[in-house]
Amino acid sequence: MKKLLYIFIATLIFASCDPEQAKDIDLGPLPPPPTFIVEADPQNANRVIVKDQSTGYFSRLWVVEGGTPAQSSKEIDTIFFSKAGTYEISLYASKEGGSGTAFATKEVVIENDATIACEPKISLLTGGCEAAGKCWKFSTVAGAITVGPTFGAGDWYRSPVNGLVPEQMASRWCFKFEDFEFDFRNNGVTISPWAGYVAVPHTPTAGPWTFSPGTGQNGLDQIILTPGQFMGTWDSNHELHVALLTEDQLVVRTRIVSQAGVPAAEGWFEFYFVAE
């Protein structure tokens, strides 16, 4: 009897160790490449208009080499290129029932660098387009920083009067018309949202800026910094939508980004600056 019991237990152990056979999973076919067109903007030789002509896809993502915006999910969008050259525009799309993301790529040729005159808005931003440029700092008013889920919303956070820390108040963001130089003067430290909102050593990214009229959200003008640069907080995007620009006030809205610079699914900042 004991012998039979041992055999039964051994059989159970052997059976429990027998690996389960993996079942075949039908992931479905790879969706066909999306289709899109690229048209020259008749109003500006440094802009093109992209139009997604695909049907049946549930998501899309434009990825633009060297253009502004660098990424977009709109069906139709306008892309700005500040420098002459040949650039790739790719459209990535996923379809219900497909087994992955398909993409298509086209090239666009920009013949000349964008020429930007010292027009009134740029003059306000740069201090009359003088060589010294113009610097901006955070305002001390309530709402110097607001955060919300959508463009222009402040549902998540609104800073109180004098509510920013000394390192934020000491920072200066400066724009020069000559060579379109952007200078972030942070005294060697910046508040890090990824290290618990404490001051950490930080050397700002160097690079020029671009003023792009009418290419922002809801037709607003944009200030485009070099990727890796920011104006406001470190977790904000380098593409700024100008909500207000006067001689002494600058209000911009921009996306929340990850530490890798990828825009979040939702979340927008609004920053209120005053002239130095």
Query: 149-180: per-residue pLDDT in tens?
Result: 999 999 999 999 999 999 999 999 999 998 88
pLDDT at 98: 58
Highest mean pLDDT out of 10-19, 142-151, 211-220: 142-151
Domains and CATH numbers, the chain: 36-110 (2.60.40.10), 120-275 (2.40.128)
Query: 230-268: per-residue pLDDT in tens?
Result: 999 999 999 999 999 999 999 999 999 999 988 898 999
pLDDT at 19: 42
pLDDT at 7 over 70: no
Q: Residues 111, 47: contact at Cβ < 8 Å?
A: no
Query: 129-144: per-residue pLDDT in tens?
Result: 999 999 999 999 999 9
Q: What is the mean pLDDT of residues 42-68?
A: 88
Flag whether the pTM goes above 0.95. no
pLDDT at 26: 53
pLDDT at 22 over 60: no
